[in-house]
Amino acid sequence: MHSHEVNTQSQSYHAIVGFDILKESLYKFISGTKHDKLFLLVDENVFQHHGDNLIQTLQNFSDHVLHLIIPEGESSKSVKFWEKAVSFLLSNGVRRNTPLFVAGGGVTGDLGGFVAASVLRGIPLIHIPTTLLAMVDSSIGGKTGINHQTGKNLIGAFYQPRAVIADTRFLISLPQREWVNGLSEILKYGAIRDAEIFDNAAVFFSKDYHSLDQEKLITLIHKCIKIKAEIVAQDEFESGVRAFLNFGHTFAHALEKACDFNTISHGEAVYLGMLAALKLSDLCGYSITGQYIEPYKPLYQFRVKPGEVLSEDIYSYMFQDKKRTDEHLKFVLLEDWQSPVVKTVINKEHIKEAIDLMIIQLN
Ligand SMILES: NC(=O)c1ccc[n+]([C@@H]2O[C@H](COP(=O)([O-])OP(=O)(O)OC[C@H]3O[C@@H](n4cnc5c(N)ncnc54)[C@H](O)[C@@H]3O)[C@@H](O)[C@H]2O)c1
């Protein structure tokens, strides 16, 4: 079991990673005392595979474990499901010290995090990430939120959890496609911070993800958690270095919107967004190619075809990005590998060229 302390201004907490560690971690880090009641928000697929285990484990800490199943998919990150979850908690007598456990990928995590942030102005939140992406990225750092029809993650709050328990046992049931989604964020850490990650990520070329060496996998997840924790500790509210974690994301979010948050996953969009950001870096005069990212392309199986998205749409959706502070678009570019920089780009043709490169990759 590896444990890493995440220190932010608003909260310090442990992020723990290991195989079959849920019960042990809960005993160690949550509390010895029995709670009057506990709430669990759980992704529907996670519930199907691991629901009994989750509930039985939580019953060690309370006689009343109440759970709500969240339908899988990005559309659950919505006002509708936020309202549903909030009503579930309030109508079942949630109090300010009642812990909320959130078990699932980034979708359930982002939604559940925002529920925890907003109910009674904040209740204790414990993330149990169950996708690779959520383990290496979304469960750490306190970004919570839901989507609005005008764009992604437009409603939300910074709200740190009390603990993150990344038990790789959950990954046993993770579909192939979801492993690759997690890979995108792992490659992002390689690009912006740590070249060694590219060596570690090479295990993904084996394609048989379920038989990945557990120790190697846990070490890789731990490395990513450490990077994210370091960046978040420096800049919890994204006024500086935290923006580097958005490498590829301005392109990715616009592409996701162009696909109605439906035919492309966040991880797939991030992968393509990074290729676009590398192209734009090159067009802006930094001498860089996609050499460390491109080799992974055969692992991605895109369900959307190039003719199904319009370059113009993607360009205009970028202007809805919430990180935009003036009339120009800002991008995280790479001056060199592991040397990210935030740049305002005003050359529309350069941006369009990068978008077109992203679209061609869908073939
Ligand atoms: N808050 C942040 O800092 C942050 C960072 C990165 C991404 N995100 C958000 O995360 C979301 C993407 O997260 P994701 O890729 O985890 O997607 P997801 O939550 O949609 O999960 C992907 C799929 O895997 C299934 N699943 C989850 N765990 C499983 C398991 N153990 N076994 C079987 N199936 C399982 C889910 O039902 C779903 O079908 C996006 O909304 C993105 O915006 C947030």
91 Cα: distance to centroid of ligand 1 (angstroms): 27
Q: Which of 45, 167, 209, 225 to mutate to test the pocket of ligand 1 (most atoms within 8 A of CB)?
A: 45
Q: Which of 105, 107, 104 has the alpha carbon at shortest distance from 75? A: 107
Domains and CATH numbers, the chain: 2-178 (3.40.50.1970), 247-363 (1.20.1090.10)
pTM of the model: 0.96
135 Cα: distance to centroid of ligand 1 (angstroms): 9
Q: What is the pLDDT along the chain (363 residues), one digit of tens a residue?
A: 899 999 999 999 999 999 999 999 998 877 667 789 999 999 999 999 999 999 999 999 999 999 999 999 999 999 999 999 999 999 999 999 999 999 999 999 999 999 999 999 999 999 999 999 999 999 999 999 999 988 889 999 999 999 999 999 999 999 999 999 999 999 999 999 999 999 999 999 887 888 889 999 999 999 999 999 999 999 999 999 999 999 999 999 999 999 998 899 999 999 999 999 999 999 999 999 999 999 999 999 999 999 999 999 999 999 877 666 677 899 999 999 999 999 999 999 999 999 999 999 998
Return the ∠ at Cα 252 (arms to 69 and 80), rounded to 5°: 30
Which positions are annotated as active-site residues?
121, 143, 185, 228, 238, 242, 246, 249, 253, 266
Name which residue sits closest to atom 16 of ligand 1, judged by CA. Answer: 105
153 Cα: distance to centroid of ligand 1 (angstroms): 14
> Residues near ligand 1 with C-beta < 6 Å?
43, 45-46, 49, 72, 74, 77, 104-108, 110, 130-131, 133-134, 137-138, 141, 143, 153, 170-171, 173-175, 178, 181, 266-267
249 Cα: distance to centroid of ligand 1 (angstroms): 16
Q: Which uninterrupted H or E stretch holds 5?
A: strand 2-7
